[in-house]
Amino acid sequence: MSKPVKVLSTFCSLYGHRPEVALRLKGIPYELLLEDLPNNKGELLLTCNPVHKLVPVLLHGDRSICESLTIVEYIDEAFKGPPLLPADPYERATARFWAQFIDQKVRPFWMSICMADGDEEGKGDFLKEAKVNLLLLEGQLKGKRFFGGDSIGLVDIAASGLARWLQAFEDISGVDLLTNEEFPALHRWAKAYAGDERAKECLPNMDELVSKFTAVRKKFQAMAEVQK
Ligand SMILES: N[C@@H](CCC(=O)N[C@@H](CS)C(=O)NCC(=O)O)C(=O)O
């Protein structure tokens, strides 16, 4: 009998989407367990991820795997089904490089743009940096449907925040970042990713995202005000 698979995540989590979509692409059934993060980290989370105490965590039988990109690689290796990383070592290394680039150089900037107060001018440095890095990512699509080629792979999964969460953040902040004029390949890619049946099944609903992150933004700005 195969071991049970569970994903420990939280409501509308960008990182939690990654293991979910990887499992769906592989056709592996799983149970989703949602943590009430800001209020009460559960015993299971603290036991399974004592180092970072973050979701997502993948539970495979009696083993736990932490960190969303590591989990996606684990899923690729532990389960049969369509590959999520290329077979060639150089291409695998390149995919890992761009997946890390997304977490280190892309996501933090659009998150800051959304959370910062003020108009586009006030968000100047974040906006400039976000655009430089998005342009580098745009270059990686090179006419392909997905970063992984014809099908979704590690880099697409790493970039999935751009296909749904960013739109909610644009809505909240009033800043249009991923425009068709400036980033035509990424713009088209975001539509293709969000339109994929397996991704669609585990992408959060836009209204829920907007309401969750409007509340997060208010809290963030109130804290920034106190620190002034
Ligand atoms: N690098 C981690 C980031 C995970 C992360 O930031 N998770 C958030 C939820 S989306 C979390 O658990 N936050 C709880 C906290 O910050 O205490 C990954 O890729 O898994």
Ligand 1 neighbour 173 (Cβ under 6 A)? no
The residue whose C-alpha atom lies closest to atom 11 belonging to ligand 1 is 54
Residues 112 and 205 in one domain: yes
- CATH number at 46 reads 3.40.30.10
Separation of 181 CA from ligand 1 center, angstroms? 32
Residues 26 and 69 in one domain: yes
- Residue 34 included in any domain: yes
CA atoms within 13 A on the CB side of 174: 8
**pLDDT number for residue 39:** 77
Task: Label each residue of 83-133 as H, E or C.
Answer: CCCCCCHHHHHHHHHHHHHHHHHHHHHHHHHHHCCCCCHHHHHHHHHHHHH
| Last residue of one domain, picked from the residues 50, 78, 106 | 78
The residue whose C-alpha atom lies closest to atom 1 belonging to ligand 1 is 67
- Residue 12 included in any domain: yes
**pLDDT number for residue 121:** 60
d(C-alpha 84, C-alpha 69), whole Å: 11
Torsion of CA 109, 34, 189, 104, to 10 degrees: 30
Residues 96 and 178 in one domain: yes
Residues 191 and 115 in one domain: yes
| Domains in the chain, number | 2
Residues 205 and 94 in one domain: yes
The residue whose C-alpha atom lies closest to atom 2 belonging to ligand 1 is 67
- Residue 227 included in any domain: no
Neighbouring residues of 37: CB distance < 8 A, sequence distance ≥ 6: 10, 55
Supply the pTM of this predicted model.
Answer: 0.94
Kindly report the number of other CB atoms within 10 A of residue 196's CB atom: 19
Ligand 1 neighbour 185 (Cβ under 6 A)? no
Ligand 1 neighbour 167 (Cβ under 6 A)? no
**pLDDT number for residue 218:** 86
- Residue 228 included in any domain: no
> What percentage of the chain's residues is helix, strand, coil (to nearest 5)?
60, 10, 30
**pLDDT number for residue 118:** 63
Residues 74 and 135 in one domain: no
Domain around 151:
89-209
Residues 137 and 37 in one domain: no
- Residue 216 included in any domain: no
Residues 148 and 66 in one domain: no
- Residue 221 included in any domain: no
**pLDDT number for residue 32:** 98
Give the pLDDT of the chain (228 residues) as one tens digit per residue.
789 999 999 999 999 999 999 999 999 999 999 999 877 899 999 999 999 999 999 999 999 999 999 999 999 999 999 999 999 999 999 999 999 999 999 988 877 887 776 655 666 778 889 999 999 999 999 889 999 999 999 999 999 999 999 999 999 988 899 999 999 999 999 999 999 999 999 999 999 999 998 988 888 878 777 776
- Residue 214 included in any domain: no
**pLDDT number for residue 73:** 98
d(C-alpha 99, C-alpha 95), whole Å: 6
**pLDDT number for residue 145:** 96
191: left (phi over 0), alpha (psi -120 to 50) or beta: alpha
**pLDDT number for residue 151:** 97
Nearest to 167 by CA among 157, 177, 159: 177
- Residue 93 included in any domain: yes
- CATH number at 137 reads 1.20.1050.10
Residues 19 and 94 in one domain: no
Residues 152 and 102 in one domain: yes
Residues 19 and 70 in one domain: yes
d(C-alpha 99, C-alpha 130), whole Å: 16
Residues 106 and 167 in one domain: yes
**CA 13 to ligand 1: nearest atom:** 10
